[in-house]
Structure 1
Amino acid sequence: MGRLSGKVAIITGAGSGMGAEQARLFAKEGAKVIGGDMNVEGLQAIINEIKANGGDAIAVKLNISSPADWEIAVKTAVETYGKVNVLVNTAGVAGPFIAKAADHDPDEWDKLLAINLKGAFLGSKYAIPEMIKDGGGSIVTISSIGGLVGGQGGTGYGAAKAGLIGMSKNIAVDYGKDNVRSNVVCPGQIRTPMSAVLETEDMKAAKQYYLNKTPLGHFGDPIDIAYAALFLASDESKFITGTELIVDGGVMAN
C-alpha cells in the first residue's frame, strides 16, 4: 500500500480492460486518479467502485485523439487535485489482427495512428508542462510487442505501437533535465475486451498461433500490465527512463 501516495495520475482507457485495472491498483496504492474514457458508463462504474473501496478518483469523458478533450482533462486534474504527476497512456484500438500492407485499408490505417499514436502524443503534450511545474513526473505508455516485432497484430497496429516507443524515447531525452521520465510497457496477448476477437471461431487458428509463441502457455491478465505500470509510475523506478518493459509471457525470448 502507498506506493503512489501523494501522486495524481491520469489514466486513459480506464473504463475497461487494462486501464480499469490500472485505475483500481493506482488508487489502492494511494494515487488520486483521473480516469479518462469515451465509454462514460463503464468508466463511471469503475470510478464508483474505487470510491466505494476508499479510493479518490474522478471520471472525465476523453476522446484521446482530441486536443480539446485533453486540455479539459488536464485542466480538470489540476483544478481538482492541484497537479499532475503521472500519465498512463493506455487507451487504444486494435486493427485487423492479420492485416498485410497491400491489403490494409487506408482509412483503418489513419484511425489506428490517430488513436493509438496521436492520442498518447496529445496526452504527453498537455501533461508534461504540469509535471514540470511540480518538479517532474512519470509518463507510462502502453505499447505492444507488436511494436518490436512483426506478426503481432497487423501492419497498421504495429506501426502505431512502434511509433509509441520512438516517441517515448524522445520524450525521455528531451525532458530528462526536468525530471520527467518516459517509459513504455510492451504487453503480449492480454485477456481484455480488445482481444476478445481471438475467442471467436474465425480467429481460432490465430489464437493458437499466439499461444504457441508464448513459453508460459497462456495469455496475461490486465493486472499483469497494471503492476508493470505501477512500478514505472512510482519512485521505485526513479532512475529508469527511455526504456521498454516487456510483459509477454516469454514471447520475445523466442
Structure 2
Amino acid sequence: MTTNENGFTGKVAFVTGAASGIGRATALAFAREGASVVVADVSEPSNQETARLIEELGGQAIAVNCDVTQTEDVKAALDKTIEAFGRLDFAFNNAGIEPKQAAPVAEYDEEEWNRIIDIDLRGVFLCMKHEIPLILKQGRGAIVNTSSGAGVIGIKGSPAYTAAKHGVIGLTKAAALDYASQNIRVNAVCPGYIDTPMMGRFTGGTDKGRAKVISEEPVGRMGTPEEIAAAVLWLCSDATAFVIGHALVIDGGQTVQ
C-alpha cells in the first residue's frame, strides 16, 4: 500500500549516503513505491549495487558519485538527476560519518572536528542549497535530513557529532520556515541505534559491543534501516502535508527522559 495519496509514481527522489544502511533501504523503499531514484555516494561499487538492486525490483535508478562536502560534486549529481529524469521531487540528505574515537571537548582533535562538521552538517546545507531550486520548479516537494538521537541529547565524548546533528535540526527548521509557503516541506529523522555497517564500526563488530548498544535500547534491540526508510517516505507523503520542520525521533525509546 502506498504511503502517498497521489503515489510516488512519476516522481524522482535523490538519496545521499545510498551505498548502504539507511540510505540504501530508503532508496529501495522509494523505488518500491514507484519513484525513480538517484543514488549518491562516494563508495562507487556499493552505490552501483544499490542502483542494481532497484533495477532488479523493476525500478529506475542511476548511481552518481558525490562527495557532499564538495559544491561541484553536489551540483554535478543534481545536474545528472535532471538529465536522467527531468525533475526532482524528494531529497533524503542522509550522508554522514561517525566519530573515529571518543574524547572530551578540551582534548578533541581539530581535524576530526572539521571532518565531522564538514560531512554531517555542511554536507546537508550544500545539498539543500542546490536541491531546493530544482524542487521549486515542480511547485511542491519534500526534503528529509538525517539527524540522530545525538541531535536531541548530549553525547559524552562526542562533541563534533553531537554539534553536527543538533545543527542539522536547526538547519532543517530554518529551511522549513523559508520554504513552507512555497510548498516544500523540510523535516528531519533522528535515528537511534540502527543495525547498519556504521553501527558495526561503532560497536567494533563484536558480540560484546552489540550487547552494550542493545542494553541501552528500552525495546531490547537495534532498529532496522527499513524502519527509518518507512519514516522517511511517510514524511515525504501527503499524509504529512501539515508536518513542517519536525525532527522525528525513531530510537526505540533511547532518548525518552
TM bucket (normalised to shorter chain) is over 0.9
Which 5+ residue runs of structure 2 have no aligned equivalent? none
Separation in structure 2 between the aligned mates of residue 160 and residue 134 of structure 1, nearest angstrom:
30
Does residue 240 in structure 1 map to residue 243 in structure 2?
yes
| 1:47/1:202 CA distance change after superposition, 3 Å | closer
1:177 is matched with 181
Question: In structure 2, the residue corresponding to 1:170 is in which secondary structure?
Answer: helix
Question: In structure 2, the residue corresponding to 1:252 is in which secondary structure?
Answer: coil
1:20 is matched with 24
Would you identify which runs of 4 or more consecutive aligned residues in structure 1 move more than 6 Å? none
Separation in structure 1 between the aligned mates of residue 100 and residue 49 of structure 2, nearest angstrom:
29
Match of 1:113 among 114, 117, 123: 117
Match of 1:31 among 28, 35, 42: 35
Does residue 143 in structure 1 map to residue 147 in structure 2?
yes
- The alignment of Structure 1 onto Structure 2 pairs a total of residues equal to 253
2:92 is matched with 88
1:51 is matched with 55
- Percent identity over paired residues: 38
Task: State the 1:182 CA deviation.
Answer: 0.5
AA matched with 2:123:
G
Task: State the 1:98 CA deviation.
Answer: 2.8
Give the TM-score, by structure 1 length: 0.94
Match of 1:75 among 69, 73, 79: 79
Range 98-107 or range 133-142, more displaced: 98-107
Separation in structure 2 between the aligned mates of residue 140 and residue 189 of structure 1, nearest angstrom:
19
2:253 is matched with 250
Question: In structure 1, the residue corresponding to 2:195 is in which secondary structure?
Answer: coil
| 1:186/1:152 CA distance change after superposition, 3 Å | farther
2:138 is matched with 134
Task: State the 1:76 CA deviation.
Answer: 1.1
Does residue 163 in structure 1 map to residue 167 in structure 2?
yes
Which 5+ residue runs of structure 1 have no aligned equivalent? none
Give the TM-score, by structure 2 length: 0.93
| 1:97/1:246 CA distance change after superposition, 3 Å | farther
AA matched with 2:10:
G
1:103 is matched with 107
